[in-house]
Amino acid sequence: MALLDWLDERTGIRAATRLMLEEDVPGGARLRYVFGSVLVFLFMQQVVLGILLAFYYSPSATDAWASTAYLNDQVTYGWFLRGLHHHGSSAMVVVVVLHLLQVVFAGAYRKPREVNWWTGLVMGAIVLAFALTGYLLPWDQKGYWATQVATGIMGSVPGGEPLQQFVQGGPEYGNLTLTRFFALHVFVLPIALAGLLGVHLLLFRKHGVTPPDLPEAELQRKTQPFWPNQLFLDVLAMAVCAAVLVGLTVKTHGAELFAPADPASNFVARPEWYFLFLFQLLKYFQGPLQIVATVLLPGAAAVYLFALPFVDRAKSRAVRSRWAVLSGVGLLMAAVTALTAVAIVEDNNNESFQHGVEQAHAEATRARALAREGVPPVGGVAVFDNDPEQKTRNLFKEHCATCHTLEGKGSEEAPTLDGFTSREWLTALVRNPRDRRFYGATKHNTMEPLTTEQASDEELAAVAEYLVSLSGASAAASVDAAMVARGKELWDKKLECSSCHEVEAGKDSTGPTLAGRGSPAWVARIIRDSSQKDLYGDTAEMPKFADKLTQEQIEALAQFVATRKTP
Amino acid sequence: MSSGSGGEPDAGRRGVLKLGIGALGLGLAAVPAVPAIGYLLFPTGSKAGEGAFLPAGKRSAFAGAVPVRVDLYADKVDAWNKTPDVKLGSCWVLERDGALQAFSTVCPHLGCAVDFDAEAQKFKCPCHRSAFGLDGSVEAGPSPRPLDSLEVKEENGLVAIRLVRYRQGVAQKEPV
Ligand code: FES
């Protein structure tokens, strides 16, 4: 106590505490007064959680997703803190609405509390702005696309384009969009909200709670002190709210994180649930009428709420005398609820939407698993480069596509690899080996075309079948045995292919051996060194990759090339 | 009780002091505020640029009237980052009367990515149900204009497409 006395003498802390806690609640403590306190609690919790998230989050287009995935999936309790922050924002929206309804019901917006009502409305709008700006920060598909729609709306109203550009930091989404949203979300909005909250609380203390509509004497008789009677109820409500949030966070294992934002992808964009009513409204007003849904109706609702103290001409606060105002606000709430419900039902019945959601979840799981290996610094989408197949694709692009084509992309300096294990490829080659699609651009353009006089199309098909049968165990399963026998006979007896090509493994010849042709092992040998005697020999031009790529890389490439299906 | 305004001899001097406080205060506020305006407006009003022709693959890949979705890659500078060879966007390409036609996948309504529904032979937007015919025309939904067609160039059997983004939500097609 001596310490407290010492401190009190220098700071007046006792008087300050008394000033804060000592207040009469006319008519007694009530459960329906708790919402404001719960909001203060939620806001403070959001601030603490937000600061914690900022310890790991990095606001740039290249890092945002990767750092969020790291925070969420690798940092101890990261998922929990992020989840709590995410669900906390939903909780704030819910409690804001409850608070607003309580104020309307009690008539607390009336004289002399108009300014407090307005600061409250502005704070409500700030809570929504928090939600909107926070949604984009993970830079995942959902946040990216949903926010695109929001800024798109901004840009589509007359004169809104400069505003859209200002918010986005330019004509397109990118680094500057993120840094802006980040600055708004973590500095501008919290400071604005805290300032307004200060005013709101001061005004609240000035006017006190709005007591129930009872005779003065009864109010006096039932008066209780704020501390501890009302505060106990407040803290109880906070605890219930926190318990719900923790439960929700554990149950959902935190907040969703979708795959990294990909501007060139499709995504089934939906806003957060509390904006669904606006989203739904948008569907009813099309073309030039769109502005009705985006500006006029929401604007009218906002004006109505702001004007409520003037709209309400009733003599007393009694509920009976204010039925017009109460039903106005009730109607608004009903409309919002109905629109939200319709939006949910429509999406539930929309198969392609459901399919899209499933796909999005699968992609998210894949991306997050790959992110555990580290995300390349070029940006979130580069996480897919960790995928073994993508790694191989990138290898192909880097080392092979300068000469070969695959999946329609690449050069024509060397034979196309699209379908090169197929019958179609083989027959086309034999008929026209000097086409650019085959060996036309290479030194190995010495093979003579096989004319239809030398072998009919039907005979050639049999030979191709025979060659496919040579390519290895997996190919042998799919061939037509009769055709193979026919092809072999033609090969042995009629055609002159064997003067250049061997069909037995290990024998050298001027043309590449056809034993195992197109199998991963055969392709791997070509990649290592195509100038071996039984392969392309002197006519080989392809670089030897034996010491440029690792054994695994070569095998992966060979496997990749040999197993591509004909496009 | 020495302070007072009105007729006191000091009144004139105090008036000047008050004016001084106001003027100096405004000046102090202006030091960060004035540059802040330009600073915050910084890239606004800049255009995304003409958009260059980007390689979209071989002509032979687009035979037939079934739209093919192609991703377009190029180097990208995003503020301070330059990333080589990234996906900048994509488009739907199809053959109509022997010529290639490309549509941006960005929905002219509010920018979601448009899908192709093979069954209905329509482009469909998953967001607000806009649907477009194979020629890009609006057949349903809130889109204020047809799909944005992109310029296509063919050279030596290779196709290149000029990727441009257009303003969303307005009836006329203006690049952003
Ligand atoms: S964004 Fe395509 S219909 Fe709205």
Alpha-helix runs per DSSP H in A12-110: 13-21, 34-54, 64-73, 78-106
A264–B72 C-beta distance less than 8 A: yes
Q: Which of A319, A349, A379 is the last residue of a domain?
A: A349
Answer whether residue A17 is part of any domain.
Answer: no
Q: Read off the pLDDT of each residue in A518-524 and give the average, rounded to a whole number.
A: 89
Contact criterion met (CB below 8 Å) for A565 and A538: no
Task: Please determine, for residue A488, whether its predicted confidence score (pLDDT) is greater than 90.
Answer: no
Same-domain status, A121 and A173? yes
CA within 13 Å, CB half, A159 = 1
pLDDT at A295: 92
Listed as ranges, residues in chain B with pLDDT below 70 are 1-7, 47-50
What range does the domain containing A435 cover?
Answer: 387-562
- Reading phi first (left if > 0) and then psi (alpha if -120 to 50, else beta), residue A542 is in beta
pLDDT in tens, A258-268: 999 998 787 88
Closest chain B residue to the Cα of A354, Cα to Cα: B126
Q: Cβ-count burial of A493 within 10 angstroms (0-12 exposed, 13-18 middle, 19+ buried)? A: exposed
CA within 13 Å, CB half, A497 = 28
Above pLDDT 90, what percent of chain A?
A: 56
DSSP 8-state class, residue B112: P
Q: State which of B104, B115, B116, B128 you would mutate to test the pocket of ligand 1, scoring each by most atoms of that ligand within 8 A of its C-beta.
A: B128
Where residue A11 falls among pLDDT bands split at 50, 70, 90?
Answer: very high
Tokens of A68: 């969020």
pLDDT at A480: 86
| Rounded Cα–Cα distance for residues B36 and A166 (Å) | 13
How many domains does chain A contain in total? Answer: 2
Q: Which residues of A touch B87 (CB under 8 A)?
A: 262-264, 381
Q: Which residues of A touch B81 (CB under 8 A)?
A: 60-62, 175
Answer whether residue A544 is part of any domain.
Answer: yes
Contact criterion met (CB below 8 Å) for A392 and A524: no
Task: Please determine, for residue A72, whether its predicted confidence score (pLDDT) is greater than 60.
Answer: yes
Where residue A567 falls among pLDDT bands split at 50, 70, 90?
Answer: very low
Answer whether residue A394 is part of any domain.
Answer: yes
| Rounded Cα–Cα distance for residues A293 and B128 (Å) | 13
| Rounded Cα–Cα distance for residues A290 and A269 (Å) | 19
DSSP β-ladder status, B53-58 and B152-155: unpaired
Chain CA centroid to CA A42, Å:
26
Same-domain status, A319 and A450? no
Task: Please determine, for residue A59, whether its predicted confidence score (pLDDT) is greater than 90.
Answer: yes
| Rounded Cα–Cα distance for residues A36 and A30 (Å) | 12
Where residue A518 falls among pLDDT bands split at 50, 70, 90?
Answer: confident
Q: Read off the pLDDT of each residue in A432-461 and give the average, rounded to a whole number.
A: 85
Same-domain status, A342 and A392? no
Contact criterion met (CB below 8 Å) for B109 and B123: no
Tokens of A89: 């924002």
Alpha-helix runs per DSSP H in chain B: 11-41
Contact criterion met (CB below 8 Å) for A526 and A500: no
Same-domain status, A40 and A147? yes
The DSSP secondary structure of B34-86, one letter per residue, reads HHHHHHHHTTTT----S--EEEEEEGGGG-SSS-EEEEEEEEEEETTEEEEEE
CA distances to B17, B123, B134 from B117, in Å: 74, 6, 10
pLDDT at A534: 85
- Closest partner CB to A287 (pick from B81, B142, B176): B142
Where residue A476 falls among pLDDT bands split at 50, 70, 90?
Answer: low
Mutation for testing the B interface, residue in A151, A290, A358, A402 having most B CBs under 10 Å: A290
Report the predicted TM-score, pTM, of the whole model to 2 decimal places. 0.82
Kindly state whether A228 is in contact with chain B, defined as any CB-CB distance less than 8 angstroms.
no
CA distances to A84, A254, A273 from A246, in Å: 7, 9, 19
pLDDT at A474: 67
Task: Please determine, for residue A98, whether its predicted confidence score (pLDDT) is greater than 90.
Answer: yes
CB B107 near ligand 1, within 6 Å:
yes
| Rounded Cα–Cα distance for residues A457 and B26 (Å) | 91
Q: Which residues of A touch B144 (CB under 8 A)?
A: 287-288, 290
Contact criterion met (CB below 8 Å) for A24 and A223: yes
pLDDT at A44: 97
The closest residue, in CA terms, to atom 3 on ligand 1 is: B128
Q: Read off the pLDDT of each residue in A48-75 and give the average, rounded to a whole number.
A: 96
Same-domain status, A193 and A328? yes
Contact criterion met (CB below 8 Å) for B70 and B57: yes
The answer to whether domain B53-162 has CATH 2.102.10.10 is: yes
Q: Read off the pLDDT of each residue in A204-220 and give the average, rounded to a whole number.
A: 90
CA within 13 Å, CB half, B106 = 27
What strands lie across the sheet with B81-96, from one edge to the other? Answer: B68-78, B81-96, B99-104, B149-150
Same-domain status, A196 and A344? yes
Same-domain status, A399 and A329? no
Where residue A362 falls among pLDDT bands split at 50, 70, 90?
Answer: very high
pLDDT at B50: 66
Answer whether residue A196 is part of any domain.
Answer: yes
pLDDT in tens, A293-344: 999 999 999 999 999 999 998 988 888 889 999 999 999 999 999 999 999 9
Answer whether residue A370 is part of any domain.
Answer: no
Residue type for position A477: A
Task: Please determine, for residue A125, whether its predicted confidence score (pLDDT) is greater than 50.
Answer: yes
* Residue among A412, A406, A377 nearest A394 (CA): A406
CB B113 near ligand 1, within 6 Å:
no
pLDDT at A475: 65
pLDDT at B4: 47
Q: Which of A321, A349, A377 is the last residue of a domain?
A: A349
| Rounded Cα–Cα distance for residues A148 and B174 (Å) | 18
Contact criterion met (CB below 8 Å) for A139 and A178: yes
Tokens of A39: 């909001």
pLDDT in tens, A442-454: 888 778 888 888 8
Same-domain status, A391 and A345? no
Same-domain status, A125 and A195? yes
Phi, psi of B16 (to 5 degrees): -65, -40
Tokens of B119: 């069954």
DSSP 8-state class, residue A335: H
Same-domain status, A179 and A286? yes
B40–A156 C-beta distance less than 8 A: no
First to last CA, chain A: 84
Where residue A43 falls among pLDDT bands split at 50, 70, 90?
Answer: very high
Chain CA centroid to CA A87, Å:
17
Answer whether residue A237 is part of any domain.
Answer: no
A155–B167 C-beta distance less than 8 A: yes
Alpha-helix runs per DSSP H in A107-230: 114-136, 141-156, 161-168, 175-183, 189-207, 216-222
Answer whether residue A523 is part of any domain.
Answer: yes
Q: Which residues of A touch B48 (CB under 8 A)?
A: 171-172
Where residue A566 falls among pLDDT bands split at 50, 70, 90?
Answer: low
Chain CA centroid to CA B71, Å:
18
Q: What is the CATH number of the domain that holds A286?
A: 1.20.810.10
Beta bridge partners of A260: A140
Q: State which of B103, B104, B110 you would mutate to test the pocket of ligand 1, scoring each by most atoms of that ligand within 8 A of its C-beta.
A: B110
A156–B58 C-beta distance less than 8 A: no
B41–A171 C-beta distance less than 8 A: no
Same-domain status, A318 and A434? no
Closest chain B residue to the Cα of A168, Cα to Cα: B44
B176–A172 C-beta distance less than 8 A: yes
pLDDT in tens, A237-255: 999 999 999 999 999 999 9
Answer whether residue A129 is part of any domain.
Answer: yes
pLDDT at A309: 95
Average pLDDT, chain A: 91
pLDDT at A442: 85
Contact criterion met (CB below 8 Å) for A29 and A233: yes
Mutation for testing the A interface, residue in B50, B54, B62, B78 having most A CBs under 10 Å: B78
